[in-house]
Every structure is written in structure tokens, then in C-alpha cells.
Amino acid sequence: MASFPAFRAAAVQAAPVFLDTAATVEKACRLIETAAAKGARLIAFPEVFVSAYPYWNWTLNPVQGGPWFERLYRSAIDVPGPEVATLCAAAREAGAHVVIGVNERDPYSAGTLYNSVLLIGADGELLGVHRKLVPTWAEKLTWGHGDGSSVRVHETSIGRLGALACGENTNPLARFALLAQGEQVHVASYIALPVAPPDYDMADAIRLRSAAQSFEGKTFTVVACSTISEEMVELLGHDEATRKLLRREHCALSGVFGPDGRPIGEPLIDAEGIVYADLDLAKSIQAKQMHDVIGHYNRFDVFSLTLDRTRRSGLSFTD
């Protein structure tokens, strides 16, 4: 039976210490401590916060981006590994659930990374690791595909918790697969995207997707997006046009959305900070009386979805 706790959530909007894994993990631990001191029992971090997003895929050709990929590979982490252990210890010390994006190294291949989301329990145990199913657009130059094994909802003391990374929140089937497992709290991690086409407003796109997820599923959505630091602009800005592009405004939004699709409080745009919101999961009960897309407001004799949760591997052993 589902439970309907009330608790405080925190959405972190911040930049990593670019390509510096140890410093970024240390920054994450400080932010966990800060949010927990404000009473947060769920603390959400941006996509691949540890410790870089490959912006060079959008501003350089693939050959020019090769050395940057190697730097990203060397700064990526193993799961499990020492960085994961440090983050788990911080969650345990804070008594808070932590959801954080990382660059995960493939355990066997030096050429494959995954855009992964770690879900950590308040007891410091790693609940799950979700690998982004499909890298978006230019991201295909950096990350491999995840599989259905991590499309899971986790039973926790703050309700049934699920997560998707950035563009996955646009995928109706991925979202429905989590909702159908009883998801009550959805964490959506994003990156600031100043490199998008001129007519694409990333902050508005995040707001739209988050409102849709919450309204359709009658769930709470906690959105955490990264920012672009001046250090990153100087490091990645190989010419003045690129530096100007990376300083583009309205490319990041973090906040919390309720079952009616509306933000709880004011979302944070562009600036670093932490957004706090008090969630009462019981608010979804009456909302679902009108539209329960995983129950009475669906026709499973007409529509069906199959989720293959087989873990994929390049090699199977028979011994």
C-alpha cells in the first residue's frame, strides 16, 4: 500500500567544478549538508553534476572534441567506487535521500561513458543507478545507451521515488513506465543549455516538461538544473562568439511542481542556489480521482506498454 508522507525537498541549481571530480564531490557534500540543515529530506542535483557536461560536442567538430572526451573519461567515476561511497556517506550523515547525476565509466570499455543518475537512500545505501536511455542529439558523441534495467521506482520513506535525465523527461513511454510503477515523487535532472538553437528557450522547456509530468501523473516533480560558471566560459570559450553563447540567459531552471502542474513557490532561473518546497503526497489522492492514467482513467484493453528490464551486456558467460 502506498504511503503519503509530507516532507521538504531541495532542488540544487549549481555548476560543477568543471572536470575536477574530487572538488565537485566535495562541493556536492557541502550542498547536501546545507540543504539538510534547512530540513530537506530529498536533495536533487543536476544532470552529470560529477563533473562535467560535454558542451564541446556543440561547439567543436568531433575530431577537435576528442581530447576533451579523454579529459571527461579520466574525470568520470566508477559505480560503485570511492566517489559514490563519499556521496552515500554524506546522505547518511544528512539523513536525506540524494539524487545526483554523474558520468559513469563502462567497467570494460575505455571508449564508453554513461550519463547516469545515482539514487541514494537516507541510510546511505545506493538504491539504484539509472543510465540515460538515449543521449540527446550531440550527446551521442559522448554517451552510450542505458537499458530498461534501471527504469525503476524505489520504495522509500518519502514515497515511491523515480528519476529521469534531461531529454528523457520528454519521452512519454519512459515517464509512463515510472508512473505505472506507482511513482509519487519524480526527480528530473537537467543541464543549462545555452548552446541550443536561438529560438529554443531551455528554461521554458524545462518548465513545460515538468508541469506536464506532474499534471499527467498527479505527482510531484523536483527539477534540478546546472548552471554555467565563468570558469567554464573561459575554459570552453575557444572564441568570443562561443564565450557569448555560453553566457546566454534563461537557459536553466530549477524548482518543484505539484500534482496540479503548477510550481510550488518560485522556480530559480540561471543563478546558483537551492530551491526548497514542502511536499504533501496526500495532495495527489483527490487529483487522481479525476485523471488516474495508471488506473481508472486508462483503457488497458486498448493500450499496453511492455518494459524490458533485462540488463544488457556485451558478453554473456555460460560457465
- For residue 1, pLDDT over 80 is answered with no
Decide if 314 is inside a domain: no
Task: Determine the pLDDT at residue 318.
Answer: 87
Kindly name the residue from 29, 47, 139, 218 that is annotated as catalytic.
47
User: What stretch of H or E contains 278?
Assistant: strand 273-280
Q: Which residue is listed with cell 547525476?
A: 101
Decide if 258 is inside a domain: yes
Tell me the CATH number at 12.
3.60.110.10
pLDDT tens for each residue of 247-301 = 999 999 999 999 999 999 999 999 999 999 999 999 999 999 999 999 999 999 9
Decide if 298 is inside a domain: no
Kindly name the residue from 29, 132, 139, 183 that is annotated as catalytic.
132
Decide if 311 is inside a domain: no
Decide if 12 is inside a domain: yes
What distance in Å separates the CA atoms of residue 46 and residue 49, rounded to the nearest whole number? 5
Average pLDDT over residues 23-44: 98
Decide if 297 is inside a domain: no
Query: Which residues, listed in sequence order, are joined to residue 253 by a DSSP beta bridge?
Result: 269
* pTM of the shown model: 0.97
Residue-number span of the structural domain to which 37 is assigned? 7-290
Residue 188 CB contacts under 8 Å (≥ 6 apart), including other chains: 163, 164, 165, 166, 169, 206, 209, 210, 213, 221, 222, 223, 224
Q: Could you confirm whether 166 is annotated as catalytic?
A: yes
Average pLDDT over residues 188-212: 97
Kindly name the residue from 166, 168, 218, 225 that is annotated as catalytic.
166
CB 162 within 8 A of CB 17: no
Average pLDDT over residues 181-188: 98
The number of distinct structural domains making up the chain is 1
pLDDT tens for each residue of 82-139 = 999 999 999 999 999 999 999 999 999 999 999 999 999 999 999 999 999 999 999 9
Q: Which three cell numbers stand for residue 68?
A: 576533451
Decide if 82 is inside a domain: yes
CB 24 within 8 A of CB 49: yes
